[in-house]
Amino acid sequence: MTAAVPILYVGGTGRTGSTVLDRMLGNVPGVFAAGELTWLWFALRSGGRCACGARHVDCRVWGPVLLATFPEDFGNPDAMAEVADEMFALRRRFDSRYLPVMGLPGAKQALTSRLGPYPSRLASLYRNLLEHTGAELIVDSSKEPHYSSILAARAELDVRFLHLVRNPQATAYSWARRRTELGFGVGHEMERRGPISASIYYDVSNVAADALWSGGDRYLRVRYEDLVASPDDTLRRIGRFAGLVIDPEVALGRQAADRKRSAPGHAAWGNPNRFATGPVTLRNDDEWERNAPRSMRTWTRLLAGPVGRRYGYSSRSDTQRGSGLAAT
């Protein structure tokens, strides 16, 4: 039997710095950083682009992978559009709206049974990705805990869950900012959320990630602030968890990687940082400490504070200058 496809899944809520982490891991020889793969179908049907700048069907990585996964349809744009529409519609049958009910008895099974060919097609997509890139590990930064549970249910895939968390105040501030989405060319903005929506999303995503994964040897929690403060140690810790030897100098792009064993720069989807090249700049992005309005801080503290405290973010420090971290 063929060995299962090793996947390091970066999960949790949005705006946690996962694209930066994805870029770093993508520099490591033997790793293919796929970006937010859950959005591939959305990108295919709406004309989005891979991080290399090409449309996915024309990309030197995603083109052959899609051809191998959908050999009957790939050469026909109308048929591929239908595939993308169908995969997108199937994905919506089990999206983040269902996170709050996932803990109910039997809910996960009931929801996954509605997915039709979606899980088996995903399993072949990841297999083809591993084979085409020659990688030893795929990093998928889709973040959504429910999507990770679809992958984890497949025997063909071997999933480890890296739970990336960040101060809820920093994520709320990031959700509120206007940012240009570069994946469609010009004129598009990234999705924004107000503090109430951002906090609820923070809570359900993180609580679901904990409920689905924490406690086992397939789970590692990393705080974005620790990655920024101690990138070398944190990257080595991630490497031990994922079964990789990570040279931080290579991951941070300060030293050239073995190009034969890595193919950075083809994240299928993610925030605009995925288009960046060259050395990775890590910053705490503490602008919220100076600029977040009082109402944003209050709503976030009330709604996301209790879940944030699970990860060591004290509410008291939300109102203070500094790193925004509780002493641990």
Residues engaged in binding Zn ion (CB under 5 A):
50, 52, 59, 266
- Measured from the CB of residue 248, what is the shortest distance to Zn ion in angstroms? 25
- Measured from the CB of residue 257, what is the shortest distance to Zn ion in angstroms? 17
Closer residue to Zn ion, CB minimum distance, 44 or 111: 44
**Residue 184 neighbours by CB distance under 10 Å:** 13
Nearest to 122 by CA among 153, 151, 161, 159: 151
Closer residue to Zn ion, CB minimum distance, 52 or 157: 52
CA angle 278, 26, 45 (to 5 degrees): 100
Closer residue to Zn ion, CB minimum distance, 118 or 269: 269
Q: How far apart are CA 316 and CA 320, in angstroms?
A: 7
Give the sheet arrangement for strand 5-11, strand by strand: 31-33, 137-143, 5-11, 157-165, 219-223
- Measured from the CB of residue 88, what is the shortest distance to Zn ion in angstroms? 20
- Measured from the CB of residue 91, what is the shortest distance to Zn ion in angstroms? 21
Closer residue to Zn ion, CB minimum distance, 52 or 164: 52
Residue linked to tokens 């034969």? 260
- Measured from the CB of residue 51, what is the shortest distance to Zn ion in angstroms? 6
Closer residue to Zn ion, CB minimum distance, 219 or 275: 275
Q: Give the relative orientation of helices 168-176 and 294-310 as an angle to the nearest 10 degrees.
A: 140
Closer residue to Zn ion, CB minimum distance, 260 or 283: 260
How far from chain centre, in Å, is Cα 235? 16
- Measured from the CB of residue 254, what is the shortest distance to Zn ion in angstroms? 23
Give whole-number Cα distances, 234 to 25, 103, 238, 288, in Å.
12, 31, 6, 24
Q: How far apart are CA 186 and CA 129, in angstroms?
A: 29
- Measured from the CB of residue 139, what is the shortest distance to Zn ion in angstroms? 15
Closer residue to Zn ion, CB minimum distance, 49 or 221: 49
Residue 8 contacts residue 162 (beta carbons within 8 Å): yes
Give whole-number Cα distances, 221 to 150, 163, 218, 292, in Å.
20, 5, 10, 26
Closer residue to Zn ion, CB minimum distance, 50 or 157: 50
Q: How far apart are CA 289 and CA 169, in angstroms?
A: 8
- Measured from the CB of residue 126, what is the shortest distance to Zn ion in angstroms? 16
